[in-house]
Structure 1
Amino acid sequence: GLVLKVNGLADFSAGKENGSSRLLYRNTRGALFEGTISGVIGFSSALYENQARFPGYIISYIQKHGVLPGQGVAKKYQTDGYDFSWAEGNLWVRPWKDLYLEAGYGKRFFGDGYRSLLLSDFSDVYPYAGYQWYAGKFFLAASTQSMIQHEEVIRWDKRRFPAKTSVFHFAGVRLGRIQLTLMEANMYANPDSAGNFRWQAEFFNPLPVLNSLAGRGNSLWGVNVSVNLPPFLLYGQWLADDYPLNKITDVHSVQNKTGFQAGIKWFHAFSLPGMFFQAEYNQVRPYTYSGKPLSLTYTHYNEPLAHPLGANFREGIIRATYRFKFFLLEGQTSYAVQGRNDGTLDWGADPLLRNGLLPEPVKVSRQSHILQGIKTSVVNAFAGVSWIVNPVNTLHFSVEYHYRMESAEGNKNTTGYIMIGLRTNRINHYYDF
């Protein structure tokens, strides 16, 4: 039979930034529609309308990238606020038990960590279509996406950037307590610079490996692994971006564009029901996710498709939550060190750097080292307490405090802000970069 659900979506929050009289706020109104037909067809659609005023470091990010973090292009609102809206949704069909066909407009996350070095939900939404097929311990999945590439001149009144096409493949197997999944991602400069779209066989290929062998795009490979040892979950990722096999023993080669993640989750930590603890480490070498032309970079709408920092960094994260009845306590801290670019000198941090020049030491030696460039450290911390008003639609009243410190070459910028609000907690917003 037909099942329909409708829920309201909201984020009414306000706060203050340390040392500033500016009122920070977010005013989000939206609706979520979901439905299924006999368990064979399903759909969902969510609409959001927003006005917001952000702390200074987020405004700096918006001015640099021309988009809000993970929320696309916005128009100016009043003096220093932003007005923006977005929609997401999907339609899936299950023609038989083990096969799902899906098309939608949204974003996905691949992995078990807080971050993903392969595909995260940090960037904006995009249209996609694909399938998932399960056979006992094995599964295959593929999807084709229309994405947005880098634009040289950023204008607030220009609502569309040039497009490009990406194709993702996944192949996984469960071996007892171990889940092992291979991911292949290919980015194509299609449509071309003149806006001409060409259909390619790779867009319809349901199997991994073949697209990379064809060699017509920028290929990225990765592995995600998890080991379930209750009450612990061990997890990790490894990625290689167009890393030639003949350079695999040269760990400092400029072509060694790799990264890895290692983490642990602890459920019912310290024997407390409702207690959760997580620790994670991420590392990505210089120039990873980059591509020439820039349309081949592993990015969407001027933002990374994987880690918010881009590349050339090390990061550690600790998270903890404790839920007791209708109350939730949360805490998180992260420390990252990144070798950032120096003007037009490309030390490998930003895949979207236009007209970047390789520094002379890298150009001559063809060697790169993690954290090369302007060494910058970033600390993010967060603490919050929430009262869960409605567990069904995740409506909760919360008080949060956010802290951020960035330092480089003796210069230090510190900010902190408090937010109080009533919100539905359905979408991840990442401001810890």
Structure 2
Amino acid sequence: MKRFLIFCCLFIFFTNYIFAQNSTIFLENYYKNEFLRFSKNACPSSFYPSNEGVFKLSDSIKDKRVFYYDLPVWFFQKHWIQVEKEQFSIHISPLIHFAYGKSTDTVDIKPLFRNSRGIYLDGQLGSKFSFQFVISENQSSFCDYEAQYFKDRGELYVTPNGYTKVNAVIPSASRTKYFKDTIYPNAFDYAFSVGAVAYQINNKSRVEFGNTQQFIGNGYRSLFLSDNSTHAPFFRFQRSFCKRWCYNFLSKKTLNLIRKPFSNGIEKSYENKWFLAHYLTFQVKENLNISFFTGGIHLRADSIQKHSINPLFILPTFNTDLWNHSSIVNGINGLNIDYFLSGIKCYAQIVMDQVNKKTLFASQLGIHYFNVLKIKRLDFQIEWNQIPEDFYSNSNFKLAYSHSNLSITHPKGNNFSELYFRLSFMYKRFQFLCSFSNYFTRGGDIYSQIIQNNLFLTSDKKKMLFSQNGQTQIYIGEIIYRWNNRYNAQLYFQFRSRISNFGIFHQQNNSYLAGVRMSLFNQYLDF
């Protein structure tokens, strides 16, 4: 092990250069899609977030309108507080989301609201160090099916008869605190703080640590790792070599939100897990990349004992633990393919898992079509995802491919097929968006959609509530006025319709929401 670490150090420092600058690009879909549009295949890796050294996105989306007064320049083109020197820069802006709306289902009409207040800060020291930090306090209410999803993922306390579930977990945010409001029965109170620091070792090597999110792949969904769950402490190492190769190593501390029965602190701690991933990309041609993924969840400590980590899993080798039927490791392997040609980005993922000695395969296939029919900023995306029953799960439910009781890939979990469609048109500061998701699910019920899309139970332990196949359709339309793309400041109106059919059972929910937001994180509520 010692020789391996020495070799890594020598490999990092005694090399040539490829990157230039350091700032991390936001992971929110607006920035990711613009990155794909302008960078084409300049980035050899589909491991996000990327950085300005790979492709200078800020220049491509820069507001180039000319103003003759300082106030409109500040409002439309700058952060609220902005200091930029030759070897130092810092930007500070508010991070708010104020919105109000209504939710209508088959029973009654309920109000919706978002009330988020926070601060965003980023900066750079010289050409090597960069940092980002966010603090946010939130009170929000959601539709019935969303609230049920969040409560189903609440933290667990050990009892003599099993577990007691309390509170809830909000995707891309945090676990909730107690919130009592008779007017807003589906309201939650939650807060979070996230940040990351990046250091450009040289032009080929980069390290980053913090508790922000990551995403692997060029699709709307990822079958390897997505930003669906909550934030978690991580360490990431990126290395490019031999012009055509790019390697990423990721280590994250993840949690089962199960309180340990005994603790020395005031608040009982959660059970720890450790997520490790290796991602190796080979640029076959200028417009064709093939990437190999191996990753898994290690159970570090449960309510009974601590578990050591096999040091071999840290090595950039194919996931042998997947074949060894380890009782404390749940791993997957996969292949990612990206192909870019004349404004069309084709992508695919194939993932392999082994559950109860069965080898299972999940798949993704999609297309981004930019500037459709040569109409500037008219974009089209279509994507197919298929994840079989039991995928990502384990006979030991504590080893589920999850963090904070949420899937770290697709919000639906497993046991479904999905067709996703998205159409976007941007004109000046306006953006018009419409999307459609169609899920096909085997078994389940309309009020507990996640029951049969469950990472925490394998099929031999599930109680099938209904044998009929289910179908869920989600239609979303949005009108956005984006007045500042430095921190994605928007006025927006959103309409959403969700229709679920399971045999003779039918449920429909319509909702609308209008307000102002600074959107830097994705939150997937189309499940």
The answer to whether the superposition gives a TM-score over 0.5 is: yes
2:345 is aligned with what amino acid? Answer: L
Residue 350 (structure 1) aligned to one of 445, 454, 470: 454
Deviation at 1:230, TM superposition (A): 1.8
Q: Which residue does the alignment assign to 1:33?
A: 121
Q: Which residue does the alignment assign to 2:345?
A: 233
Q: 1:87 to 1:358 in 2, by over 3 A?
A: closer
Matched, 1:334 2:437: yes
Matched, 1:137 2:244: yes
Q: Which residue does the alignment assign to 2:521?
A: 427
Q: 1:287 to 1:186 in 2, by over 3 A?
A: same
Q: Which residue does the alignment assign to 2:258?
A: 151
Matched, 1:24 2:112: yes
Q: Partners in 1 of 2:526 and 2:380 — Cα distance?
A: 18
Q: Partners in 2 of 1:409 and 1:158 — Cα distance?
A: 45
Provide structure 1 residue ranges, at least 5 long, that are not aligned to the other structure. Answer: 245-253, 361-371
Classify the secondary structure of the residue corresponding to 2:147: helix
The equivalences for 1:357-372 within 5 A come to 357=461
Q: Which deviates further from its counterpart, 384-393 or 410-419?
A: 384-393
User: Contact 1:16–1:418 at 8 Å: present in 2 too?
Assistant: yes
Matched, 1:50 2:162: no
1:91 is aligned with what amino acid? Answer: V
Q: Partners in 2 of 1:329 and 1:263 — Cα distance?
A: 21
Q: Partners in 2 of 1:213 and 1:52 — Cα distance?
A: 40
Q: Which deviates further from its counterpart, 210-219 or 293-302?
A: 210-219
Q: 1:31 to 1:150 in 2, by over 3 A?
A: closer
Q: Which residue does the alignment assign to 1:399?
A: 493
User: Contact 1:381–1:403 at 8 Å: present in 2 too?
Assistant: yes
Q: Which residue does the alignment assign to 1:8?
A: 94
Deviation at 1:382, TM superposition (A): 0.4
User: Contact 1:278–1:318 at 8 Å: present in 2 too?
Assistant: yes
Q: Which residue does the alignment assign to 1:221?
A: 333
Residue 69 (structure 1) aligned to one of 154, 160, 171: 171
Identity %: 21
1:128 is aligned with what amino acid? Answer: F
User: Contact 2:498–2:509 at 8 Å: present in 1 too?
Assistant: yes
1:140 is aligned with what amino acid? Answer: Y
Deviation at 1:208, TM superposition (A): 2.9
Deviation at 1:391, TM superposition (A): 2.2
Q: Partners in 2 of 1:168 and 1:335 — Cα distance?
A: 30
Classify the secondary structure of the residue corresponding to 1:124: coil
What is the TM-score when the length of structure 1 is the normalising length?
Answer: 0.88
Q: Partners in 2 of 1:340 and 1:106 — Cα distance?
A: 35
Q: Which residue does the alignment assign to 1:290?
A: 393
Instruction: Please identify which structure carries the higher strand content.
Output: 1
Q: Partners in 2 of 1:265 and 1:288 — Cα distance?
A: 26
Deviation at 1:194, TM superposition (A): 2.8
Q: 1:355 to 1:324 in 2, by over 3 A?
A: closer
Deviation at 1:224, TM superposition (A): 1.1
What is the TM-score when the length of structure 2 is the normalising length?
Answer: 0.72
Q: Partners in 1 of 2:230 and 2:490 — Cα distance?
A: 25
Q: Partners in 2 of 1:383 and 1:27 — Cα distance?
A: 22
Q: Which residue does the alignment assign to 2:426?
A: 323
Per-residue CA deviations over 1:390-414 (Å, capped at 9, x if unaligned) read 2222111011101111110210110
Q: Which residue does the alignment assign to 1:279?
A: 382
Matched, 1:122 2:228: yes
Q: Which residue does the alignment assign to 1:162?
A: 271
Q: Which residue does the alignment assign to 1:259?
A: 362
Q: Partners in 2 of 1:74 and 1:419 — Cα distance?
A: 22
User: Contact 1:165–1:191 at 8 Å: present in 2 too?
Assistant: no
Classify the secondary structure of the residue corresponding to 1:57: helix
2:251 is aligned with what amino acid? Answer: T
Q: Partners in 2 of 1:158 and 1:385 — Cα distance?
A: 44
Q: Partners in 2 of 1:303 and 1:55 — Cα distance?
A: 18
Matched, 1:186 2:186: no
Classify the secondary structure of the residue corresponding to 1:295: helix
Classify the secondary structure of the residue corresponding to 1:77: coil
Q: Which residue does the alignment assign to 2:409?
A: 306
Classify the secondary structure of the residue corresponding to 1:106: coil
Q: Which deviates further from its counterpart, 294-303 or 261-270?
A: 294-303
Matched, 1:411 2:517: no
Deviation at 1:16, TM superposition (A): 0.7
Q: Which residue does the alignment assign to 1:248?
A: none
Provide structure 2 residue ranges, at least 5 long, that are not aligned to the other structure. Answer: 1-86, 155-168, 261-265
Deviation at 1:311, TM superposition (A): 1.1
User: Contact 2:355–2:390 at 8 Å: present in 1 too?
Assistant: no
Q: Partners in 2 of 1:159 and 1:378 — Cα distance?
A: 39
Q: Partners in 2 of 1:392 and 1:356 — Cα distance?
A: 50
Classify the secondary structure of the residue corresponding to 1:71: coil
Q: 1:357 to 1:77 in 2, by over 3 A?
A: closer
Q: 1:4 to 1:347 in 2, by over 3 A?
A: closer
User: Contact 2:99–2:115 at 8 Å: present in 1 too?
Assistant: yes
Q: Partners in 2 of 1:325 and 1:139 — Cα distance?
A: 36
User: Contact 2:398–2:456 at 8 Å: present in 1 too?
Assistant: no
User: Contact 2:259–2:268 at 8 Å: present in 1 too?
Assistant: no
Q: Partners in 1 of 2:412 and 2:267 — Cα distance?
A: 25
Matched, 1:174 2:268: no
Q: Partners in 1 of 2:392 and 2:147 — Cα distance?
A: 25
User: Contact 1:170–1:183 at 8 Å: present in 2 too?
Assistant: yes
Deviation at 1:271, TM superposition (A): 1.5
Deviation at 1:210, TM superposition (A): 6.0
Deviation at 1:340, TM superposition (A): 3.3
Q: Which residue does the alignment assign to 2:195?
A: 89
Q: Partners in 1 of 2:267 and 2:483 — Cα distance?
A: 40
Q: 1:198 to 1:87 in 2, by over 3 A?
A: same
Q: Partners in 1 of 2:192 and 2:233 — Cα distance?
A: 13
Per-residue CA deviations over 1:278-300 (Å, capped at 9, x if unaligned) read 00101011111011322221111
1:410 is aligned with what amino acid? Answer: I
Q: 1:340 to 1:122 in 2, by over 3 A?
A: farther
Per-residue CA deviations over 1:128-183 (Å, capped at 9, x if unaligned) read 11200011110111111110125399xxx988531111111111111111111111
User: Contact 2:345–2:368 at 8 Å: present in 1 too?
Assistant: yes
User: Contact 1:162–1:195 at 8 Å: present in 2 too?
Assistant: no
Classify the secondary structure of the residue corresponding to 1:113: coil
